[in-house]
Amino acid sequence: METTTLDNGLRIVIDHRPGNIVYCGLAIEAGTRHQTDEESGMAHFTEHMSFKGTVHRSAWHIINRMEAVGGELNAYTGKEHTVYYCSTLRQHLSRALDLLFDITLHSTYPQHELEKEVEVVIDEIESYNDTPSELIYDDFEAMLFRNHPLGRNILGDAGRLRQYQAADVQRFARRLYRPERMVLFVLGDVSLRTLPLPRPVMEENVYQPDIEQSMETTPLPVMEGQGGVPFSIDKNTHQAHVIIGCQAYPMGHPHYTALYLLNNLLGGPGMNSRLNLALRERRGLVYTVESNLTAYTDTGLWQTYFGCDHADVERCRRLVGIELQRLLDAPLSPSALSAAKRQLRGQMALAWENGENVAIGMGRRLLHLGTTQTLQQFCDAVDSLTAPQLLDVAREVFDPARLCTLIYN
């Protein structure tokens, strides 16, 4: 990988991969946790509005710019960043970079487009409200990080969104959409020497902040376990939806890779995960059971989800507890540890073939940690793990006294 930083603070990371397809984008330190209390959903809404017109292009020209040459342009918003990304033929990389910088640094957020887009976002909110298997993740995070910016819903509140004016979006963008808060990432047959960077970007620092903006310093809540008593919300759903989890390690933590392996063993994407075998394959109690990690710059969370018949909730919870306790009681055997490492290395090698996800992950990592990581470095970190290390991490994270449970009835 090649990295550099321009005089205006823009960081660039390039991973050379032979081929005719290039994946590129901008990762911006502008997420839900960077909103003020009065800016509900503003980070996500700004992402939407960035496609609605710039000083150089109309909304139609933005939509058509990459589509006309078979490329794809998209974006998403998270708790700590917003990412704009594009995939295209290598010959159109210059077109893609010009468009990415245009919509992030020169958007005008026109009022007539805002009034339409508000209703689009509200429809998006309602689609989540109609999907309890996704909504429960937001509610669990709000419970785990209550009264903290990390607990804010990314999509925001419909009533507040309808109050926003173009000036509100412009103010948010001017505060956060600045080169020194951005990482340009590129994966493809390109190098720093051949990168067709738009010339104005070399010197440009378009937006000066209206106010000083620093990383949110609200103290993280200390979440205690519920003592086995779950929190329930009556959603009148056909099946029950359940999440069990707790706060975990932040990105870059020395124990994160160990927890990543344990999570993969427990409820990762493999059909041979311990939770899938226990709840679905052997007993037919669920269609979906999974566990996952989310890492932020200063904390993280681990959680496992399943949906089941209302009458089977307690049985499924008990089975999850049994599988967790197995990881707490004794270290993995040499054969089990070797198999877990082998499976994770193979999964990551396959995932590394998805250029778009690799490129985005590369940009996010440099944005938040200031470092890069190759597939080989990740595999080396996995190989170095020992059974006693994994046991210590399991006992710290999966301690029943730390776990919280949310149920949709």
In 162-222, beta strands by DSSP E: 182-188
Distance CA 320, CA 303 (A): 11
What's the half-sphere exposure (Cβ side, CA atoms, 13 Å) at 316? 31
Asked if domains 2-202 and 231-408 share a fold, the reply is: yes
Q: Which two tokens stand for residue 115?
A: 């009034």
Compute the distance between CA of residue 62 and CA of residue 68 in angstroms, rounded to an integer. Answer: 10
pLDDT in tens, the chain (409 residues): 999 999 999 999 999 999 999 999 999 999 999 999 899 999 999 999 999 999 999 999 999 999 999 999 999 999 999 999 999 999 999 999 999 999 999 999 999 999 999 999 999 999 999 999 999 999 999 999 998 999 999 999 999 999 999 999 999 999 999 999 999 999 999 999 999 998 777 665 544 444 445 444 667 766 667 767 899 999 999 999 999 999 999 999 999 999 999 999 999 999 999 999 999 999 999 999 999 999 999 999 999 999 999 999 999 999 999 999 999 999 999 999 999 999 999 999 999 999 999 999 999 999 999 999 999 999 999 999 999 999 999 999 999 999 999 999 9
Contacts of 299 (CB under 8 A, 6+ apart): 145, 150, 220, 247, 248, 249, 250
Enumerate the domain spans of the chain.
2-202, 231-408
Look at strands 21-28 and 72-77 and give their pairing.
unpaired
Residue percentage of the chain with pLDDT more than 70: 94
* Strands 231-233 vs 404-408: parallel, antiparallel or unpaired: parallel
Which residue from 366, 24, 15 is spatially nearest to 196, judged by alpha carbons? 24
* pLDDT tens-digit readout, 15-67: 999 999 999 999 999 999 999 989 999 999 999 999 999 999 999 999 999 99
Superfamily per CATH, domain 2-202: Metalloenzyme, LuxS/M16 peptidase-like (3.30.830.10)
Q: Please tell me the distance from the alpha carbon of residue 244 to that of residue 228, in angstroms, as a whole number.
A: 10
Q: Specify the CATH class of 231-408 in words.
A: alpha beta
User: Rounded CA gap, 343 and 190, in Å?
Assistant: 32
Contact 144, 301 (CB under 8 A): yes
Residues 6+ apart with CB under 8 A from 56: 102, 106
At residue 45, the 3 state secondary structure works out as helix
Round to whole Å and give the CA distance between 139 and 233.
Answer: 10
